[in-house]
């Protein structure tokens, strides 16, 4: 028996190259490894496999910070993968300029991406010198406050409806032995939380003046000073959440050990995997409940220039499969993000996603910092805020001064 | 030696041992092209504004000015100084004391030696993870001591920005002292037994024999050990990544991590090159005096 099945397996491996002549293996690298993310990426793989090709999963654990250097060194080092995830915006800018990435303009015109992708800023971020280099797959927004209903119940206070109420409810949470605000130690989390506070407290115009126009006077001005005061509050509230990864911090909220977390809508995937229901077990406040604006950054797939013709064809197939309405729905429901096309039906969307879709439909959107700032400025910002949030002796005034310097030097 | 090879017609100095010289050409080329060439390339590009990909557009000392104005770099240098100073002192002292104890003709010496050297077989990443758990207030030493009844006991260096570098130091010493001990033990074994006998006849106490006679005789071993420890200090990176990834905040950052982060995360090669050039200068400060002591003073060494 055993021997026969072994022989069968061997025969199958020999036969495979012949009968699967048209199927092409395409390695796709990405950093989606947490529970909700892995479930979502499986949907993409399913969609691509259905076209008769094979998705070879190249997940790199440890979030974008770890994954991106590996991806970039593979592309620049002459060992490109079939396709790779980046946050679209400026992360792959130089790779494109160096001629290492594939131009998708033909496919995009054929499939009319300009019409179907909404908001158009997504495609603009893929466009460099008039040519399109990436296929956006989702819209992720940072501006959410996730609250654990159980934690507030335990503390005996109603679930807050905005940031100010949240800050006011914090002492009750602390009394009940709950950390008010969960914040992981990874530097991007601190920097991201600050950007969220900025949009919520200072508003859309200030955000654009600082990050898009790089106006250092606004960055040093009174509006941003208010944001730093709020960040000072957030720093006080987040004391004691000794975790590193964002999903560990989300887990503190899921288990009711923390009151809330400022995190992008990808956190929603974690709530889903844990079997929690929006509105019942957890509450989400877009724009921290103050200023309902969301940023439209997200993930996109870039396709390195390959010599193999078969693979190049498969790249086009993949790009078009990613934007397929069905794939968009299946993927984004699992991921907790919003689809990049406005013409798909998200009947299964939950409470929080609907809030996001509404805001998107109203056009209350801003560009994500990844789209506006170079990775270099982003890193300097991360250094500043990870220091600020970990070091209570650093005054908001000092931090603001350094923030204004970073904005002044940004390109 | 030289007298033997010298014939009646004295051959050209350059052609002596020709085979050996030809054989060493590949190694010389490797050293020149890869080590020296790579170093010069890095230094040259540290004066450019290279971002993700290297490009030759010079910006003078801009990268260095930015480097020395960056609070994170300053903290990295301070951490390296503290870590370097204590790890040098402690690993030499602990290593030597352990070796001296081991040298007392104790039973099961082999077993002890193996136990002491075992941590050295672990990579820094594993060492870092092990100590991250040991020093974690929820699972590690603190919780064990608290569960024994001392509930106010608090020991969480990795979560306290003021002392986090000492938490890393503990792990580094645990990993590194075994090797230092072995080097020292080898040095001690190389000391002639007669010296001990002579010291005993003269009635010199044991500690005095060690300090005044044995240690000066082990000069070579000490210098080698010093260089091994010092180069390990400058390049410390993985231990920090595994234990704290630079946190809390940026309190446990080190220069090597700055180089990596700016080269690959921030996509700013110029800045990373400037930082690595500064590290090279640090290494040169350590290596040059050593080379001078080892090779320069020639005649004095026995």
CATH code where residue A226 lies? 3.40.190.10
- Tell if the CB–CB gap between B268 and A375 is shorter than 8 Å: yes
- Tell if the CB–CB gap between A386 and B271 is shorter than 8 Å: no
Separation between Cα atoms, residue A166 and residue A146, nearest integer Å: 11
**Nearest CA distance, A243 vs chain B (angstrom):** 10
Separation between Cα atoms, residue B231 and residue B229, nearest integer Å: 6
Q: Which of B53, B246, B261 sits opposite A94 (nearest CB)?
A: B53
Which residues in chain A have their CB less than 8 angstroms from residue B268's CB?
Answer: 375-376, 379
Any B CB within 8 A of A68 CB: yes
Over 50: is that where the pLDDT of A1 sits? no
Range of the domain at A286: 144-295+373-409
Read off the pLDDT of each residue in B99-106 and give the average, rounded to a whole number: 88
Q: Judge contact between A304 and A78, C-beta under 8 A.
A: no
Q: Judge contact between B186 and B177, C-beta under 8 A.
A: no
Read off the pLDDT of each residue in A353-367 and give the average, rounded to a whole number: 88
**Nearest CA distance, A380 vs chain B (angstrom):** 8
* Of residues A156, A387, A147, the one with CA closest to residue A252: A147
| Chain B residue at shortest CA distance from A64 | B265
Separation between Cα atoms, residue A197 and residue A224, nearest integer Å: 10
Give the pair of three-digit tokens for residue A74: 């593979």
Which residues in chain A have their CB less than 8 angstroms from residue B71's CB?
Answer: 383, 387, 402
Give the pair of three-digit tokens for residue B22: 């030809």
* Residue A270 shares a structural domain with residue A309: no
pLDDT recorded at residue B10: 64
* Residue A387 shares a structural domain with residue A349: no
- Tell if the CB–CB gap between B250 and A380 is shorter than 8 Å: no
Q: At what angle do helices B71-102 and B164-189 cross, to 10 degrees?
A: 40
Q: How confident is the model at residue A236 (pLDDT cuts 50, 70, 90)?
A: very high
Any B CB within 8 A of A98 CB: yes
Separation between Cα atoms, residue A136 and residue A86, nearest integer Å: 9
Interface test with A, best of B155, B156, B267 (most A CBs within 10 A): B267
Neighbouring-strand partners of residue A302: A84, A134
Question: Does B88 fall in a domain?
Answer: yes
| Chain B residue at shortest CA distance from A191 | B249
Read off the pLDDT of each residue in B236-262 and give the average, rounded to a whole number: 90
- Residue B165 belongs to a domain with what CATH number? 1.10.3720.10
**Nearest CA distance, A387 vs chain B (angstrom):** 4
Separation between Cα atoms, residue A61 and residue A28, nearest integer Å: 14
Q: Which of B66, B137, B250 sits opposite A387 (nearest CB)?
A: B250
Any B CB within 8 A of A240 CB: no
Read off the pLDDT of each residue in B270-296 and give the average, rounded to a whole number: 85
Q: Which of A73, A242, A375 sits opposite B265 (nearest CB)?
A: A375
Read off the pLDDT of each residue in B65-70 and give the average, rounded to a whole number: 93
Separation between Cα atoms, residue A307 and residue A327, nearest integer Å: 28
The number of domains in chain B is 1
Separation between Cα atoms, residue A86 and residue A300, nearest integer Å: 6
- Tell if the CB–CB gap between B249 and A69 is shorter than 8 Å: no
Give the count of beta carbons closer than 10 Å to the beta carbon of residue A103. Answer: 15
* Residue A256 shares a structural domain with residue A396: yes
Separation between Cα atoms, residue A295 and residue A142, nearest integer Å: 6
Over 70: is that where the pLDDT of B9 sits? no
Average pLDDT value for chain A: 87
Question: Does A109 fall in a domain?
Answer: yes
The number of domains in chain A is 2
Provide the 8-state DSSP code for A325: H
Question: Does A259 fall in a domain?
Answer: yes
* Residue A203 shares a structural domain with residue A290: yes
- Tell if the CB–CB gap between A242 and B137 is shorter than 8 Å: yes
Which residues in chain A have their CB less than 8 angstroms from residue B137's CB?
Answer: 242
| Chain A residue at shortest CA distance from B158 | A242
Question: Does A367 fall in a domain?
Answer: no
* Residue A350 shares a structural domain with residue A302: yes
**More reliable by pLDDT, A394 or A244:** A394
Question: Does A6 fall in a domain?
Answer: no
* Residue A180 shares a structural domain with residue A106: no
Interface test with B, best of A98, A373, A386 (most B CBs within 10 A): A386
CA distances from B272 to A181, B33, B106, B133 (A): 34, 21, 51, 31
Give the count of beta carbons closer than 10 Å to the beta carbon of residue A96. Answer: 19
Question: Does A239 fall in a domain?
Answer: yes
**Nearest CA distance, A211 vs chain B (angstrom):** 17
Separation between Cα atoms, residue A268 and residue A181, nearest integer Å: 17
Separation between Cα atoms, residue B75 and residue A2, nearest integer Å: 62
Q: How confident is the model at residue A256 (pLDDT cuts 50, 70, 90)?
A: very high
Question: What is the value of pTM for the model shown?
Answer: 0.82
Q: Which of B159, B249, B262 sits opposite A389 (nearest CB)?
A: B249
Separation between Cα atoms, residue A384 and residue B117, nearest integer Å: 40
**More reliable by pLDDT, A124 or A262:** A262
Separation between Cα atoms, residue B134 and residue B115, nearest integer Å: 19
Say which residue the tokens 């499969």 belong to.
Answer: A321
**Nearest CA distance, A72 vs chain B (angstrom):** 8
pLDDT recorded at residue A15: 42
- Tell if the CB–CB gap between B268 and A376 is shorter than 8 Å: yes
Any B CB within 8 A of A308 CB: no
* Residue A277 shares a structural domain with residue A384: yes
* Residue A93 shares a structural domain with residue A202: no
Q: Judge contact between A320 and A392, C-beta under 8 A.
A: no
Give the pair of three-digit tokens for residue A214: 């790089």
Q: How confident is the model at residue B287 (pLDDT cuts 50, 70, 90)?
A: confident
* Residue A273 shares a structural domain with residue A305: no
Over 50: is that where the pLDDT of A10 sits? no
Any B CB within 8 A of A378 CB: yes
Which residues in chain B have their CB less than 8 angstroms from residue A386's CB?
Answer: 246-247, 249-250
Interface test with B, best of A379, A402, A411 (most B CBs within 10 A): A379
Q: At what angle do helices A325-335 and A35-49 cross, to 10 degrees?
A: 170
Interface test with B, best of A390, A399, A409 (most B CBs within 10 A): A390
| Chain B residue at shortest CA distance from A385 | B249
Using CA atoms in the order A314, A315, A320, A323, what is the torsion angle rounded to 10 degrees? 130
Give the pair of three-digit tokens for residue B287: 């290596």
* Of residues A62, A79, A1, A6, the one with CA closest to residue A305: A79
* Residue A268 shares a structural domain with residue A310: no
- Tell if the CB–CB gap between A374 and B265 is shorter than 8 Å: no
Polymer length in residues for chain A? 411
Neighbouring-strand partners of residue A283: A147
What ipTM describes this predicted complex?
A: 0.79
**Nearest CA distance, B268 vs chain A (angstrom):** 6
Relative to beta strand A25-30, strand A83-87 is parallel
Question: Does A16 fall in a domain?
Answer: no
pLDDT recorded at residue B11: 63
Question: Does B166 fall in a domain?
Answer: yes
Say which residue the tokens 């090709």 belong to.
Answer: A53
**Nearest CA distance, B170 vs chain A (angstrom):** 20
Interface test with A, best of B57, B167, B250, B252 (most A CBs within 10 A): B250
Question: Does B1 fall in a domain?
Answer: no
* Residue A169 shares a structural domain with residue A30: no
Separation between Cα atoms, residue B174 and residue B236, nearest integer Å: 15
pLDDT cut 70: percent of chain B above it: 94
* Residue A118 shares a structural domain with residue A159: no
Question: Does A394 fall in a domain?
Answer: yes
Question: Does B17 fall in a domain?
Answer: no
- Tell if the CB–CB gap between B266 and A380 is shorter than 8 Å: yes
Q: Judge contact between A326 and A159, C-beta under 8 A.
A: no
Separation between Cα atoms, residue A41 and residue A332, nearest integer Å: 10
Over 80: is that where the pLDDT of A21 sits? no
pLDDT recorded at residue A19: 39
């Amino acid at each position: 028996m055993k021997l026969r099945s072994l022989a069968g397996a061997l025969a199958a491996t020999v036969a495979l190259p012949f009968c699967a002549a048209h199927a092409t293996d395409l390695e796709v690298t990405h950093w989606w490894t947490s529970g909700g993310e892995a479930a979502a990426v499986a949907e993409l793989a399913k969609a691509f496999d259905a076209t008769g090709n094979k998705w070879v999963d190249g997940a790199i654990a440890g979030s974008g910070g770890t994954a991106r250097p590996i991806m970039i060194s593979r592309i620049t080092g002459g060992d490109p993968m079939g396709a790779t995830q980046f946050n679209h915006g400026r992360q792959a800018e130089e790779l494109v300029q160096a001629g290492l990435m594939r131009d998708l303009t033909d496919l995009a015109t054929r499939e009319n991406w300009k019409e179907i992708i909404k908001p158009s800023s997504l495609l603009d971020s893929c466009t460099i010198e008039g040519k399109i280099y990436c296929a956006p797959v989702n819209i992720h927004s940072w501006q959410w406050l996730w609250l654990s209903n159980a934690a507030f119940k335990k503390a005996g206070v109603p679930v807050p409806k905005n940031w100010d109420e949240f800050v006011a409810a914090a002492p009750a949470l602390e009394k009940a032995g709950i950390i008010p605000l969960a914040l992981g130690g990874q530097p991007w989390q601190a920097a991201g939380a600050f950007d969220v506070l900025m949009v919520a407290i200072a508003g859309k115009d200030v955000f654009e003046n600082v990050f898009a126009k790089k106006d250092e006077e606004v960055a040093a001005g009174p509006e941003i000073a208010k944001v730093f005061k709020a960040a000072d509050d957030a720093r006080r509230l987040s004391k004691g959440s000794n975790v590193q990864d964002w999903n560990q911090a989300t887990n503190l909220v899921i288990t009711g050990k923390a009151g809330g977390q400022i995190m992008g809508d990808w956190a929603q995937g974690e709530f889903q995997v844990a079997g929690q229901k929006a509105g019942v077990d957890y509450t989400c406040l877009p724009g921290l409940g103050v200023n309902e604006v969301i940023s439209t950054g997200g993930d996109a797939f870039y396709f390195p220039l390959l010599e193999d013709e078969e693979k190049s064809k498969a790249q086009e197939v993949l790009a078009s499969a990613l934007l397929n309405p069905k794939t968009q729905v299946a993927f984004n429901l699992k991921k907790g993000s919003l689809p990049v096309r406005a013409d798909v039906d998200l009947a299964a969307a939950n409470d929080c996603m609907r809030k996001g879709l509404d805001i998107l439909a109203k056009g209350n959107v801003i560009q994500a910092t990844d789209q506006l700032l170079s990775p270099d400025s982003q890193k300097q910002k991360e250094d500043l805020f990870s220091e600020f949030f970990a070091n209570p002796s650093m005054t908001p005034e000092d931090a603001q001064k350094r923030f204004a310097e970073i904005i002044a030097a940004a390109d | 030696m030289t007298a033997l090879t010298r014939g009646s017609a004295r051959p050209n100095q350059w052609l002596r041992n020709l085979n050996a010289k030809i054989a060493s050409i590949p190694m010389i080329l490797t050293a020149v092209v890869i080590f020296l060439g790579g170093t010069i390339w890095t230094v040259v590009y540290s004066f450019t504004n290279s971002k993700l990909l290297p490009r030759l557009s010079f910006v003078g000392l801009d990268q260095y000015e930015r480097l020395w104005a960056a609070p994170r770099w300053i903290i990295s240098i301070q951490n390296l100084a503290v870590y370097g100073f204590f790890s040098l002192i402690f690993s030499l002292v602990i290593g030597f004391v352990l070796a001296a104890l081991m040298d007392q003709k104790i039973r099961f010496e082999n077993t002890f030696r193996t136990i002491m050297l075992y941590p050295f077989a672990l990579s820094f990443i594993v060492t870092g993870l092990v100590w991250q758990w040991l020093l974690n207030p929820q699972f590690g030493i603190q919780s064990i001591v608290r569960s024994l009844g001392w509930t106010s006991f608090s020991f969480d260096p990795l979560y306290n920005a003021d002392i986090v570098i000492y938490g890393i130091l503990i792990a580094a010493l645990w990993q590194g002292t075994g090797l230092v001990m072995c080097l020292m033990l080898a040095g001690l074994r190389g000391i002639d037994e007669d010296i001990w006998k002579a010291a005993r006849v003269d009635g010199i106490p044991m500690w005095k024999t060690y300090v005044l006679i044995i240690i000066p005789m082990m000069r070579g071993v000490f210098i080698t050990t010093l260089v091994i420890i010092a180069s390990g200090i400058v390049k410390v990176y993985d231990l920090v990544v595994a234990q704290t990834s630079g946190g809390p905040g940026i309190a446990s950052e080190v220069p090597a991590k700055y180089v990596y982060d700016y080269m690959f995360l921030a996509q700013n090669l110029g800045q990373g090159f400037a930082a690595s050039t500064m590290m090279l200068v640090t290494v040169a400060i350590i290596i040059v005096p050593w080379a001078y002591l080892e090779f320069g003073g020639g005649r004095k060494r026995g």
